[in-house]
């Protein structure tokens, strides 16, 4: 096969087929609509069962767009699903802080900061939680941004700080990935 046509070869279900963007077909084998992946035949360093990762997310996003850090976590789950793993085969956590803090807000708090009525990140956060991902927001970043824990979406846990989440998770054997 030539071009990117190999991407759709061998699909057992059209449900796994996702969006076609710039001629690439993205697959969503675990997290529907988010974190699309492409197959890369003969690639090295495939996903492994039993991995533990904490994603340190400080990435900003436009008010109407998904936070790219959250999208990266979805992509990681989709890569693992494509490798034949279930969400329970890996342990993932993420912590939002700095300018990424707003992604953790409920719709009404988000609307105060953006010219939109809905936080575009909440559907994805819900999907990540359903896959067993621990989702934290930094309590220090909330305070520095004049936000309260009451303004955080129900699916998100307020931590003392992003630093404590990162340090604790690394002490528990998690690898650290920074997304900014």
d(CA 35, CA 54) in angstroms, rounded, equals 17
Judge whether 113 and 102 are in contact, CB under 8 Å: yes
Say how many C-beta atoms besides its own lie within 10 A of residue 146's C-beta. Answer: 7
- pLDDT tens digits, 2-58: 333 333 333 323 335 556 666 689 999 999 999 999 999 899 999 999 999 999 999
What secondary structure, in 3-state letters, does 16-69 show? HEEEEECCEEEECCCCCCCCCECCCCCCCCCCCCCCEEEEEECCCCCCCCCCHH
CATH fold of 52-179: Hypothetical Protein Ychn; Chain: A, (3.40.1260)
- Per-residue pLDDT tens digits for 68-79: 999 999 999 999
So what's the pLDDT on residue 18?
A: 59
Residue with tokens 């494509």: 82
Higher pLDDT, 6 or 156: 156
Q: According to the model, what pLDDT value does residue 11 have?
A: 32
Residue 150 pLDDT more than 90?
A: yes
- Its pTM stands at 0.87
- The pLDDT value recorded for residue 90 is 98
Is residue 136 pLDDT above 60, yes or no? yes
Spans of all domains in the chain: 52-179
Higher per-residue pLDDT: 149 or 17: 149
pLDDT tens-digit readout, 85-133: 999 999 999 999 999 999 999 999 999 998 899 999 999 999 999 999 9
Q: Which two tokens stand for residue 91?
A: 């342990």
The string of DSSP codes covering 139-167 is: HHHHHHTT--GGGB-TT-EEES-HHHHHH
Location of structure tokens 């990162």 = 166
Task: State the pLDDT at residue 1.
Answer: 30
Strand bridging mode 24-27 / 175-179: unpaired
Question: Which CA distances in Å does 91 have to 2, 69, 108, 167?
Answer: 37, 17, 31, 16
* Beta strands at 17-21 and 24-27: parallel, antiparallel or unpaired: antiparallel
């Amino acid at each position: 096969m030539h071009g990117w046509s190999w991407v759709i070869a061998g699909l057992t279900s059209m449900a796994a087929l996702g969006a076609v963007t710039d001629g690439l077909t993205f697959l969503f084998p675990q997290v529907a609509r988010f974190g699309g992946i492409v197959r890369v035949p003969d690639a090295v360093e495939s996903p492994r069962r039993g991995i533990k990762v904490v994603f340190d997310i400080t990435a900003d996003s436009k008010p109407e767009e998904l936070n790219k850090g959250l999208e990266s976590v979805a992509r990681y789950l989709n890569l693992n699903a494509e490798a034949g793993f279930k969400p329970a085969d890996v342990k993932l956590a993420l912590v939002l802080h700095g300018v990424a803090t707003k992604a953790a807000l409920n719709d009404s708090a988000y609307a105060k900061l953006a010219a939109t009525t809905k936080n575009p990140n909440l559907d994805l956060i819900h999907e990540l939680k359903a896959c067993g991902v621990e989702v934290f927001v930094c309590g220090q970043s909330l305070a520095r941004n004049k936000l309260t824990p009451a303004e955080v979406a129900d699916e998100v846990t307020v931590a003392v700080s992003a630093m404590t989440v990162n340090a604790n998770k690394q002490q528990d054997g998690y690898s650290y990935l920074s997304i900014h």
